[in-house]
């Protein structure tokens, strides 16, 4: 039995339709038209109750949990902490990646300890050695041979929706978030030509940032701060350049910025030690696309590399971030290839950003914070903030989906 055939899709995001514990009047201000709106209320960044709600809703729906290349071989198994639970990822003999609740169907022992990994031809519980095939079906339970009332087919591991998309693994631990294609609607048009699935990660940095995960998202969505805190970035990319995209049916936001004339990529002096990603258009070779996929993946598409930030919220005021740089195999084939030109530039820029995010977090926690306005250059933050606010109110994240549902309801009333 295929794991996915055991998955029942129930409804749209969020998984739990109840409202977040926030003042609806404050959220109404966040949802006011751009130019009149306010940011989320400070409690959205500081309250343990809001954080718990987000974990049970936003992070129980589709979100990125890593790259498929890290669990590429048949039989590879890994247990990851996801929200309040742990999930078992398994690469099958058919090379399909599957996800299961990391809970044995006998008496609930974890199949692997959280953070653990192994490679084997079967999934074996360490407690009483029940063994499952790599597709999650139970095939062996010690001591049950010949028992008339025991049928192994009744006890498969609980499958969870998981999908690889251009090299990234997306998981829906709730099983209720609907098709990933809806969550990412329209995004392949922006990303596919970079072929992220064939790029190779050559460097990874981990950061623990003393700031709420949304502050990190919001910071990523604007370059209004660039002239103030990013002298290196301004040397190679005009901060006032580019545009943001209009909202789509998908749960992502973003835009682009140009390279300065002398620069071929984002590095300290604008030079590249790599090679352009094949088949990019002349336009794509002169700009960087910055994409925030809700809730936790930031994709930065450069002419010669793709950088991603993947976030895991640890508490209201603390977030783990993994930053990875992936390059085309043609660049890595060069014996002297060194990713430092990209890594050094972005590590400096990341740290400038984290300092700002941590200061914003302290401001939100000061007791004096009030939800502020958004500048004309912060329209992409507006898209993100309204997505979050709609989610808090139990509505679809995407404005277009929310509008379509409202229209359908109205049409039903009309008839």
Query: What is the contact surface with ligand FES in residues (CB under 6 A)?
Result: 104, 106-109, 125, 127-128, 130
Binding segment for Fe ion (CB under 5 A), chosen from 119-127, 133-141, 348-356, 380-388, is: 348-356
Task: Check: CB of residue 181 under 8 Å from CB of residue 252.
Answer: no
130 binds, among Fe ion, ligand FES, none (CB under 5 to 8 A by kind): ligand FES
Find where tokens 């910055």 sit. 290
Query: Could you tell me which of 44, 45, 50 has the C-alpha nearest to residue 27?
Result: 44
- Alpha-carbon distance of 307 to 298, in angstroms, equals 8
Which two tokens mark 343? 């890594």
121 binds, among ligand FES, Fe ion, none (CB under 5 to 8 A by kind): none
Distance of CA 30 to the CA centre of its chain: 23
- Alpha-carbon distance of 279 to 195, in angstroms, equals 10
Q: Which of 304, 353, 378, 379 binds Fe ion (CB under 5 A)?
A: 353
Instruction: Name the helix (H) or strand (E) containing 200.
Output: strand 200-209
Task: Check: CB of residue 168 under 8 Å from CB of residue 67.
Answer: yes
106 binds, among Fe ion, ligand FES, none (CB under 5 to 8 A by kind): ligand FES
**Which is nearer to ligand FES, 19 or 106 (by Cβ)?**
106
Binding segment for Fe ion (CB under 5 A), chosen from 53-61, 187-195, 275-283, 350-358, is: 350-358
Query: Least Å distance between CB 126 and ligand FES?
Result: 8
Query: Least Å distance between CB 129 and ligand FES?
Result: 6
Task: Check: CB of residue 125 under 8 Å from CB of residue 108.
Answer: no
**Which is nearer to ligand FES, 147 or 189 (by Cβ)?**
147
Q: Cα-flanking dihedrals φ and ψ of residue 77, to 5°?
A: -140, 140
- Residue 378 interacting with Fe ion (CB under 5 A): no
**Which is nearer to Fe ion, 363 or 394 (by Cβ)?**
363
Query: Least Å distance between CB 123 and ligand FES?
Result: 10
Count the helix, strand and coil residues of the chain and give each as a percent rounded to the nearest 5.
30, 25, 45
353 binds, among Fe ion, ligand FES, none (CB under 5 to 8 A by kind): Fe ion
Query: Least Å distance between CB 150 and ligand FES?
Result: 13
Which two tokens mark 259? 């390279």
**Which is nearer to ligand FES, 109 or 362 (by Cβ)?**
109
- Cis ω for the linkage preceding 124 (within 30 of 0): no
Binding segment for Fe ion (CB under 5 A), chosen from 20-28, 183-191, 312-320, 352-360, is: 352-360
Q: Which residues bind to Fe ion, rule: CB under 5 A?
A: 353
């Amino acid at each position: 039995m295929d794991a996915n055939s055991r998955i029942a899709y129930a409804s749209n995001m969020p998984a739990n339709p109840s409202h977040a514990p926030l003042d609806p009047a404050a959220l109404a201000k966040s949802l006011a038209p751009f130019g009149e709106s306010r940011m989320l209320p400070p409690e959205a960044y500081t309250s343990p109750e809001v954080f718990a709600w987000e974990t049970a809703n936003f992070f129980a729906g589709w979100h990125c949990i890593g790259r498929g290349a890290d669990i590429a071989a048949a039989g590879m198994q890994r247990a990851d902490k996801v929200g309040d639970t742990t999930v078992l990822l398994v690469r099958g003999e058919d090379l399909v990646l599957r996800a299961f609740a990391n809970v044995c169907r006998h008496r609930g022992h974890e199949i692997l300890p959280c953070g653990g990994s192994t490679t084997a031809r079967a999934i074996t519980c360490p407690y009483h050695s029940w063994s499952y095939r790599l597709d999650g079906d139970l095939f062996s339970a010690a001591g049950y041979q010949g028992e008339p009332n025991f049928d192994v087919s009744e006890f498969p591991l609980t499958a969870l929706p998981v999908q690889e998309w251009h090299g990234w693994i997306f998981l829906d631990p709730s099983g209720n978030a609907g098709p990933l294609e809806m969550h990412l609607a329209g995004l392949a048009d922006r990303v596919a030509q970079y072929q992220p699935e064939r790029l190779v990660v050559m460097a990874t940095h981990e950061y623990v940032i003393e700031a709420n995960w949304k502050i990190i998202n919001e910071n990523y969505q604007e370059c209004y701060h660039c002239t103030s805190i990013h002298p290196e970035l301004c040397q190679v990319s005009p901060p006032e350049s580019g545009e943001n995209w209009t909202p789509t049916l998908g749960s992502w936001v973003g835009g682009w910025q140009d390279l300065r004339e002398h620069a071929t990529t984002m590095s300290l002096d604008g030079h590249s030690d790599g090679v352009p990603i094949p088949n990019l258009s002349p336009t794509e070779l002169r700009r960087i696309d910055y994409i925030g996929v809700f809730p936790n993946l930031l994709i930065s598409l450069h002419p010669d590399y793709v950088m991603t930030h993947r976030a895991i919220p640890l508490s209201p005021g603390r977030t783990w971030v993994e930053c990875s740089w992936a390059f085309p195999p043609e660049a890595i084939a060069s014996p002297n290839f060194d990713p430092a030109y990209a890594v050094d530039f972005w590590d400096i820029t990341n740290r400038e950003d984290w300092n700002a995010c941590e200061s914003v977090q302290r401001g939100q926690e000061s007791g004096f914070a009030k939800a502020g306005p958004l500048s004309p250059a912060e329209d992409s933050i507006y898209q993100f903030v309204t997505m979050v606010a709609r989610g808090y109110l139990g509505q679809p994240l995407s404005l277009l989906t929310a509008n379509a549902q409202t229209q359908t309801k109205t049409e039903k009333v009309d008839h």
